[in-house]
Structure 1
Amino acid sequence: MDTISMAVLKRATELEQMGEILIIGEQLRLRLHEEKVIKDRRHHLRTYPNCFVAREVLDWLIDRKEASDRPVAIELMQKMIEHNIIHHACDEFQEFRDAKLFYRFRKDDGTFPLDQEVKTIMRGQRIYEKIMSTENSLLQSREEDGVKYERSFVASEFINWLIREQEAKTRGEAEQLSRRLLEHAIIQHVSSKHHFVDSAYLYQFRVNFRRRRRVMELLIKRPQTILESQDSPFCPRKQSHDKSSNFQSVSPNNEQKTMSAVRRSSMSSSSSSGYFSSSPAMSNSPPVVLCNPRSVLKRPVPLDELLAPGAPYTRKTLTVVSDAVGWGFVVRGDKPCHIQAVDPTGPAAAAGVKIRQFVVSVNGLNVLNCDFRTVSNLILTGPRTIVMEVMEEVNP
């Protein structure tokens, strides 16, 4: 069967970011229409349909807590211009100005550039909405290689659905459409091992088109590369001599061990690739410091013991939204994986992730029978927001 290459995964990540920008822009357009910020406006005896005033939108973004101040709001709208989502009504300005100028969404005036990539993303959204709006048995809890995956679909059944819904005429055409959806990060194989093939393999939607995005997400830089270490792809690398921020893990003897993990803001170090710095400028830095190689678990906990009736463990569901440098935690172990370390200043800590928690599922996918590399890959190749079910010991 056809496996998926790293080149396809890398391209899918790039297109995923494009898709997120398009979704954010469309959600903003609909909100502005709903609140009558976009409307027909007159200037010098001429009517400009479906326009908004730049200054009014900046006020709106700040009032709705979508931007902290006017400079940030201006930067957000400039991002919209750079990605061909909005433009000045007369195309006189290439920058967004805090003034009483008219701007318009390109989708409202028919000037939105519909290249092949945009068409595929829009078609993927239409297919997603069609599936989610009708009662059907396509998305179910299923198993592949002994692992249970929620809201998954069988490739061959998906092809049948595409033909039945007249999205494709033949199985070959439906398979090619599905491969484009995967390459545009709209669907994915449940363990990211295979490209789309007409088979019994399981796939899931990688994008939740209905999730309400914040406009601020336009300024968040997502990690572009996946680097592996002996411990976990989540392990941050030492990037400077600054010791003001520490990434901590606790060894069995309760001694504190730290590693440098300087966290950058979402507006700095744009030349780096996010959480995993691979910049050549770092080649003369001190040796890389990996997270604590010793397990933080007090003792090994087999899966049978973890799931035994009456076991002293409680389940929690946590939602973690990555920032500019990642999610801020390290997974380790095998069947089950556990949280090895948590950045005290990162998103994971804020969401309630703690060391020694066992990872049960990630975005609805049961991972109790997976090793840490599989779990890490699921998160790194998935959406920026992860919903993670964990188990932790009661009164440890």
Structure 2
Amino acid sequence: MMESIVNSVKKKATERHHKAEVMIAGEQLRLRLHDAKLIKDRRYHLRTYPNCFVARELTDWLIDHKEAPDRETAMKLMQKLMSHNIIHHVCDEYSDFKDAKLLYRFRKDDGTFPLSKEVKVFMRGQSLYENLIGSEQSIMKVREENGMKYQRTFPGCEMIDWLIQNGEADSRKEAVELCRALLEHGIIQHVLLRHHFFDSNLLYQFRINFRRRRRLTELLSENLQPIQECTDSPFCLRKLNPEPSNSSFLSVHPNKEIKVVSASRRSSVTSLAGGPGSYFSNPPNLGSQPVVECNPKSVLKRKVTNEELLSPGAPYIKKTITIVGDAVGWGFVVRGGRPCHIQAVDPGGPAAAAGIKVRQFVYSVNGIGVLHLDYQTISSLVMTGPRTLVMEVIEAIE
């Protein structure tokens, strides 16, 4: 009987997890389209429609930004968003997405997004996630269970304490009910998928990383599962089904420093300080697929020491760069230690726009000198700091 209940909860959580991923991807797309000025007030037949986009222009944009390989795939992606009530035709004349000069709009932009119980739980979970990850002494940590390491974990009783201390719940009973709702909606889970939520030392984790940048093509998988991540996931760059000729998330040529892995998923590399490092194991997923790990070879041409960087007359220059993070992070990967370096940069992210490049060494973060720190500590400084990030970097003079 208990096993049947647990299996039922797992099935519902998986379905709701997929819906949550669609909502996150849709919101990230909405913000990007606003930044690109594709969403704006448009006039048609003597009437002004605020905050709209033209379907054909969006299809072109998706292909140009490598979010879709062709127009057919782009239409499928937009149809997925329509079926989840994220976008709609401005007059609701069409129930499907047409690759034409028609006006569509995000329901969040016109106030028609349906706030069902499911959506409210999702939004509550996202708010809790941001508050937890932004805490100076966050209860979300990498923890080990049965020899496996899991990301964004917390004991159930510690979460209950945190919710009460931060005014998110008035009693332990209310806090347990909230956490059970989060679990049933696929936002958190027991690390071994064996238990519902209890006010105990059982270990749970956020199943959803709200800060990870989604690739829209992920939405075409009905059995959408969490992607394997390392501890600094807001900086990690991933691409599903990478192709050597169409890889917008590679920062160096694939046949030089980084090998492209032809697999449904790939993990990010770990610290390169003192050797290749290791990979964090992924928690068992419902119907999980094999994970192929990418080559953790550094983009650095040779090892550089702090003494070399700071020595008088050295062929290096220091730069100050300001990065304003967007809804999904800053768009770069830090690796190594003493000194750390930029391993990869999302070409469409805030970091690239600000001037961050691979092989730059990180000198300071928000006024704090970091040459003596490892990449995990630097990542923590960035994640717990303000949205506007001021970094000093050192790069070779060309």
TM-score (norm 1): 0.58
- Residue 284 of structure 2: SS of its match in structure 1? helix
1:195-344 → structure 2 map (5 Å cutoff): 195-222=196-223
Name the CA distance, whole Å, in 2 between partners of 1:321 and 1:54.
25
Corresponding letter in the other structure for 1:166: G
Match of 1:380 among 280, 285, 288: 285
Match of 2:281 among 356, 362, 382: 362
1:90-105 → structure 2 map (5 Å cutoff): 90-105=91-106
CA contact (8 A) 2:189 2:205 kept: yes
Name the CA distance, whole Å, in 1 between partners of 2:170 and 2:198.
17
Alignment partner, residue 330 of structure 1: none
**Length, aligned pairs only:** 257
Matched, 1:160 2:79: no
CA contact (8 A) 2:160 2:175 kept: yes
Point out where structure 2 has 5 or more consecutive residues left out of the alignment.
226-235, 242-260, 270-277, 297-398
Change in CA separation of 1:133 and 1:382 when aligned onto 2, cut-off 3 Å: farther
- Residue 203 of structure 1: SS of its match in structure 2? strand
Alignment partner, residue 121 of structure 2: 120
Alignment partner, residue 72 of structure 1: 73
Tell me how far 1:320 sits from its aligned partner: 9.1
Change in CA separation of 1:70 and 1:198 when aligned onto 2, cut-off 3 Å: same
- Ranges of 4+ aligned residues in structure 1 off by more than 2 Å: 140-151, 318-323, 344-352, 378-391
Name the CA distance, whole Å, in 2 between partners of 1:108 and 1:115.
17
Name the CA distance, whole Å, in 2 between partners of 1:360 and 1:39.
44
Name the CA distance, whole Å, in 1 between partners of 2:212 and 2:38.
22
Change in CA separation of 1:50 and 1:145 when aligned onto 2, cut-off 3 Å: same
Tell me how far 1:133 sits from its aligned partner: 2.0
- Residue 197 of structure 2: SS of its match in structure 1? coil
CA contact (8 A) 1:362 1:387 kept: no
Change in CA separation of 1:71 and 1:223 when aligned onto 2, cut-off 3 Å: closer
CA deviations on 1:167-208 (whole Å, 9 max, x unpaired) are 222111110000011111111112111110111111111111
Tell me how far 1:45 sits from its aligned partner: 2.5
Name the CA distance, whole Å, in 1 between partners of 2:177 and 2:240.
32
Point out where structure 1 has 5 or more consecutive residues left out of the alignment.
225-317, 324-343, 353-358, 364-377, 392-396
Corresponding letter in the other structure for 2:284: I
> Superposition RMSD on alpha carbons, in Å?
3.4
- Residue 219 of structure 2: SS of its match in structure 1? helix
CA contact (8 A) 1:152 1:202 kept: yes
Alignment partner, residue 187 of structure 2: 186
Name the CA distance, whole Å, in 1 between partners of 2:195 and 2:179.
12
CA contact (8 A) 1:11 1:183 kept: yes
CA deviations on 1:320-358 (whole Å, 9 max, x unpaired) are 9877xxxxxxxxxxxxxxxxxxxx975479999xxxxxx
Alignment partner, residue 20 of structure 1: 21
